[in-house]
Structure 1
Amino acid sequence: MMDVWLGRNWDEVKAELERIGKPYAFQITRPHGKMETWGSCRVVRVREFDDHVELILAHEKFSPRQT
């Protein structure tokens, strides 16, 4: 069931998790180096355990930082 969340907008997935009442933890990844991120977050990894779900999120868009 959790695979259907891959690639989806975090706001949608968060609402579903809260609706079903399953505890969750998430982490937002960022690109290395001089990169700027923006846009909404998407789910890129899901791990389901008996008592909770762990998710990894990434921003939709990124580009070299302007200095």
Structure 2
Amino acid sequence: MVVRSLRLPAELDESVAAAAEAAGVTKTAWIRQAIEIVLTMQADDDQPISRADALRALTLLRPVRRVA
């Protein structure tokens, strides 16, 4: 492991602390996982969308009509 020093605004640090606690991990582990997620998305050429856009798209879906 490599140690990195990181400066965060107090408000962001509080948000990270709350998210880490909710996930049941340390702040360091939560930050590491967040970085890994972003790097994975970039490697897969993934294009994340907002929750609002996802919900809007889902509301346009129609139920599948199953044929027996």
TM > 0.5 fold call: no
Structure with the largest fraction of strand: 1
TM-score normalised by L of structure 1 = 0.23
- Bigger relative contact order (CA 8 A; separation at least 6): 1
TM-score normalised by L of structure 2 = 0.23
Structure with the largest fraction of helix: 2
Larger radius of gyration between Structure 1 and Structure 2: 2
